[in-house]
Amino acid sequence: MLVVTNLQKIYMSGLLRRRRTIAVEGVTFSIAEGEIVSLVGESGSGKTTTALMVLRLLRPTAGKIEFMGQDIWKISNSEEVKRYWQKVHGIFQDPYAAFNPLYKADRILYQALDLTLNKDNNRLTTIREALHAVGLRPEDVLGKYPHQLSGGQKQRLMIARCYLLKPKLIVADEPVSMIDASSRAGILKLLLELRERYATAILFITHDLGLAHYVSDRILVMHKGKIVEEGRPEDIINNPQHTYTKKLISDIPLIMKKWDEFADFHLKTKG
């Protein structure tokens, strides 16, 4: 469904735009329908840059991104771009930055409905259903400004957008890293449910290999802009090939253990 080939991004920064940072280099991967693929790496490894390029928000310096056979950087008319953003949707790390402080929560949902081609006339009902699906009571969020909502509520609101848009692919860039620990399991579970319900594929971006191990079908390990290892979660954890992957694993045995307990407790036993 998504095929990324030899992707590269070089940032030019500084006063004279002469400082070159090779943020992403020779990145190649693909994602099948309904698949959850994690992109794992430490801060600065190029994960967000990759996400922004896949979301068609940042133009690559080189390489190609094809979605369902179409080169996304060859799309030029704005209607087609909108359609792409319906099919490939982003959820970001910082639920606070994702909202315009001057607009009520309703707006983010109506905007999502505007992106869908389905012009049903019962918009409020559709929105209420999406809110219920993500465990929010409409009366708790509708009519509220972003500062009146918690981080967890805002992240659920972003996922409610996905229930409205039914994207084929969600690019989730560290979706739970700024959420307090107690709400994380619930948010992750919603993403997994979305996949169950609509066969939504997810590019799950995280610095936490333990978390990636838990949620994904396949893991890509990113280091200094390159993908250094790719495999099934069990293989990556039990038989890492690259020294960087080994380092990631040795750094997190405790967290791993915590995530396993966490998974058992919150995600399995609660059904």
Ligand X SMILES: Nc1ncnc2c1ncn2[C@@H]1O[C@H](COP(=O)(O)OP(=O)(O)O)[C@@H](O)[C@H]1O
Interface positions with Mg ion (CB under 5 A): 47-48
198 touching ligand X, by CB under 6 A: no
Helices 105-115 and 123-133 pack at an angle, to 10 degrees, of: 110
In the complex, what is the shortest distance from the CB of residue 11 to ligand X, in angstroms, rounded to a whole number? 3
43 binding ligand X? (CB under 6 A):
yes
**Binding-residue total with ligand X (CB under 6 A):** 12
Asked whether position 61 contacts ligand X by CB under 6 A, the answer is: no
> Does residue 21 belong to the site contacting ligand X (CB under 6 A)?
yes
**Cα angle: 237, vertex 258, 195; to 5 degrees:** 70
Q: Are the beta carbons of 200 and 243 closer than 8 angstroms?
A: no
The alpha helices in 166-252, defined as continuous H runs, are 181-198, 209-215, 233-238, 243-251
From ligand X, Mg ion, none, interface partner of 78 (C-beta below 5 to 8 A by class)? none
Residue 143 interacts with ligand X (CB under 6 A)? no
Site for ligand X in 1-20 (CB under 6 A): 11, 13
What lies within 8 Å, CB to CB, of 148 at 6+ separation is none
Scan for tokens 């495999």, then name that residue: 231
Cα 167 → chain centroid: 12
The contact mask relative to ligand X for 23-42 (x = CB under 6 A, - = no) is x-----------------x-
How far apart (Å, rounded) are the C-alpha atoms in residues 220 and 38? 6
Tell the smallest beta-carbon distance from residue 21 to ligand X (Å): 4
Residue from the set 25, 31, 35, 45 that interacts with ligand X by CB under 6 A? 45
